[in-house]
Structure 1
Amino acid sequence: MSNIKEFNTRLLMENLENHLKQFHYGEYPVELYQPISYIMNLGGKRIRPLLTLLAYSLYKQDYKSILTPATAIEVFHNFTLMHDDIMDKAPLRRGEQTVHEKWNANTAILSGDVMLVKAYDMLLEIDPIILPSILKKFNKTAAEVCEGQQLDMTFEQLEDVSEHDYIEMIKLKTAVLLGFSLEFGALLAGASDHDAQSLYNFGVNIGIGFQLKDDLLDVYADKAKFGKQVGGDIMSNKKTFLLIKAKELANSHQKLLLSSFMKMQAVDNEKKVKEVTAIYDELNIKPLTEKKMASYFQNGFDQLSAIQVNNPAVLQQLIQLTEDLINREK
């Protein structure tokens, strides 16, 4: 049986990154395929394919045999980012120009469409016996991600969003793909349906927790470590868990202040962040968010206690990776 020192996650990541760089998407027209290579080479944590490879490695040791299917998850994820950036009119992605800014929106739409096609091509390497069932799960997840994005856009037009609806939105937009990434790896390795479902549930719970962490960091992160503007969600009136809870718990005066800041067209952003954060502090929104976040992380880790793995060293690496992400400061 392997031990934790024998499983090299760093080497796994190097093999994954090399596989991503070597994958060929197409050549002509250049304007169609260049944007794909561009966004795929912008980097990122590669969390989703990494989770697939780790889940597979819980049961089998030949993770290199599934590098292409695992890469399909990263291609799909970046396809969603390319289209999301158009909808959000985002100028930057990972510190660089977004595809629709560097080229144009029509090119970004079409290149994104090809990325989705390529993701399906990569999934065709899966054993034909299990391919239909995998595709059904993948298609369900892909549709849910789109549902989450639509809900997010719909919420922008609403004055009030409930905590329940917000959690459901981030579950669909972000968490279900993390859950599928883990379930996918387990199923490719021949794990039991019970283990695959437990890993899916683990991914969904930590995915919700990660988004709540992002909400929290946006307001309370150390500016020197955060890497982007603290208070950006407040400036853009984004309906985060913190704002939703504040509006729910606020007294009449605090509600009036929050509402006035949300409606102001021209406002001193620094003052706005300071004043809204002060209301959050008065209502103890930070510890409330931390408690909610911790409950999802705990629910996730509870799922791992019921699985039967062949390589416990990999399980420890999966837990360590998750804890590192939980404790991140940016």
Structure 2
Amino acid sequence: MDITHLSEKFNHTLSTLRYGEDPAELYEPIRYIMALSGKRIRPLLVLLAAEMYDKDVEKALLPAAAIELFHNFTLMHDDIMDRAPLRRGKQTVHEKWNANTAILSGDVMLVRAYQLLTGVEQGKLAHMLERFSETAAQVCEGQQLDMNFEQRDQVSIPEYIRMITLKTAVLLGLSLELGAILQNAPMPDAEHLKAFGHSIGIAFQLRDDLLDVYGDKAKFGKQVGGDILSDKKTFLMLTALEQADEQQLQSIISWRNKTGESIAEEKVSAVTAVYDALNIRHQTEQQIDLYFQKALQHLDAVQLPEERKATIRGLALQLMERDN
């Protein structure tokens, strides 16, 4: 079964879900955000991990939907906190309705995610619920750390890596672990797949940081330099702050908290010039490759024939080579 077939199978499952009807203001926002075209990477990882051990992935479809529902719940609440006007090119839920509705609808999404997990066979259910709950709390911890960093002048690179691990990578790890366990994979394999997901998740976020500055605007799908304009503490910014000489440091600091369309292009150019002088792009690419190779080591340690791991290896390569 190829990725396209798995995606179609999952999308069909997603189309059959019923979240609720009344009051319409509570449930319509859920249908709205779930219909927005996303990559569906997390549920696809559930199904790919499951398929490695058994071609019949039927029992993994609803748990995969639970992962996607939870992910979109976090996006809905993140958008409120970030005051984001757009999500995937469309109005965010709190903009289209209001913040209170978005909070309540998100709460229902979390509840429905747990309901979708209750179909897991009895012998695995308690473990699955425990892992799901642990990961859900970690994602919230990552979001809180991200917000904390906005209020701090200094953030270390290890602190940043821990934050993106919690906010982004742990859910990718859970997706793979969940798919494997559902199909009776040996626990060491499930652990290696979880670790593979963690490392890919970190590499994925670092690549996102890189693309925000050096990506092709036409392909990236959003404003290049957006992280610089919002003074976001990305891997690139933190590395530059650590390595900058006095003049470069003052240049970065002088642009902090300056906003407005009139100075946007100049701000991005000035900070990018410091990045270029410090070779930040190359250093970030090295870090991406480091975590990618670490991920592949965990995949290599999974005790299955190489042909069964080929699809998931190919998807990882595709994610790392993306330019949007």
Shift of 1:323: 0.5
Residue identity in the other structure for 1:20: L
Q: Does 1:252 align with 2:246?
A: yes
Query: Which secondary structure does the structure 2 equivalent of 1:169 belong to?
Result: helix
Corresponding residue for residue 238 of structure 1: 232
Cα distance, 1:22 vs. partner? 1.4
Cα distance, 1:78 vs structure 2: 0.3
Matches within 5 A, 1:77-156: 77-156=71-150
- Distance in structure 2 (CA, Å) of the matches to 1:201 and 1:50: 17
Please tell me the residue identity of whatever aligns with 1:157: Q
Q: How far apart are 1:312 and its partner, in Å? A: 4.3
**Are 1:197 and 2:191 counterparts?**
yes
Shift of 1:119: 0.3
Q: What amino acid does structure 2 have at the position aligned with 1:171?
A: T
Match of 2:282 among 284, 287, 290: 287
Contact kept? 2:229, 2:259, Cα under 8 Å: no
- Give the whole-Å Cα distance in 2 for the aligned partners of 1:158 and 1:254: 20
What's the counterpart of residue 181 of structure 2?
Answer: 187
Q: Letter of the aligned partner of 1:308 in structure 2?
A: Q
**Is it true that 1:175 corresponds to 2:169 in the alignment?**
yes
1:237 maps to a residue whose letter is: D
How far apart, CA to CA, are the structure 2 residues paired with 1:265 and 1:223? 20
The aligned counterpart of 1:220 is 214
Which of the residues 8, 17, 20 maps onto 1:14?
8
AA paired with 2:268? V
**How many Å separate the matches in 2 of 1:138 and 1:110?**
21
The answer to whether residue 61 in structure 2 is matched with residue 53 in structure 1 is no
2:182 alignment partner AA: L
CA distance 1:129–1:304, change in 2 (3 Å) = same
| Count of residue pairs the alignment pairs up | 323
- Does the CA contact (< 8 Å) of 1:220 and 1:230 recur in 2? yes
CA distance in 2 between partners of 1:103 and 1:265 (Å) = 27
Q: 2:298 aligns with which of 295, 303, 307?
A: 303
Deviation at 1:314, TM superposition (A): 4.0
Tell me the alpha carbon deviations over residues 230-279 of structure 1, each in whole angstroms, 9 at most, x when there is no partner. Answer: 10100110000000000000001111111111143556010000010000
Aligned mates of 1:202, 1:238 — CA distance in 2? 27
Counterpart in the other structure of 1:164:
158
Encode CA deviations 1:78-106: one digit per residue, 9 max, x unaligned.
00001000000000000000000011100
Of residues 28, 34, 58, the one that matches 2:22 is 28
Residue 271 of structure 1 is matched in structure 2 by 266
Matches of 1:317 and 1:146 in 2, distance apart?
Answer: 31
**Which letter maps to 2:175?**
S
Which residue identity does 2:77 align to in structure 1? Answer: H
Q: What secondary structure sits across from 1:270 in the alignment?
A: helix
* Deviation (angstroms), 1:281: 0.4
Contact 1:54 1:314 in 2 (8 A): no
TM-score, normalised relative to structure 1 = 0.96
> How far did 1:65 drift?
2.5
- Looking at structure 2, the residues matched to 313 and 65 of structure 1 have their Cα atoms a distance apart, in angstroms, of 23
Contact 1:58 1:312 (C-alpha < 8 Å) held by counterparts: no
**Secondary structure at the residue paired with 2:154?**
coil
- Which ranges of structure 1 fall in alignment gaps of 5 or more residues? 1-6
Structure that is richer in helix per residue: 2
SS of the aligned residue for 1:269 comes to helix
Work out the CA distance in 2 between the residues paired with 1:301 and 1:38. 36
Alignment match, 1:3: none
* CA spacing shift, 1:263–1:43, aligned 2, 3 Å: closer
Cα distance per residue 1:147-201 (max 9 Å; x no partner): 0000000101111110000000000000000000000001111111100000000
| 1:304-319 aligned within 5 A | 304-309=299-304, 312-319=306-313
How far, CA to CA, are the matches of 2:63 and 2:271 in structure 1? 45
- What residue identity is the alignment partner of 1:99? V
**Offset of residue 18 of structure 1:** 1.1
Distance, in Å, in 1 between the alignment partners of 2:306 and 2:286 is 29
Contact 2:19 2:30 in 1 (8 A): yes
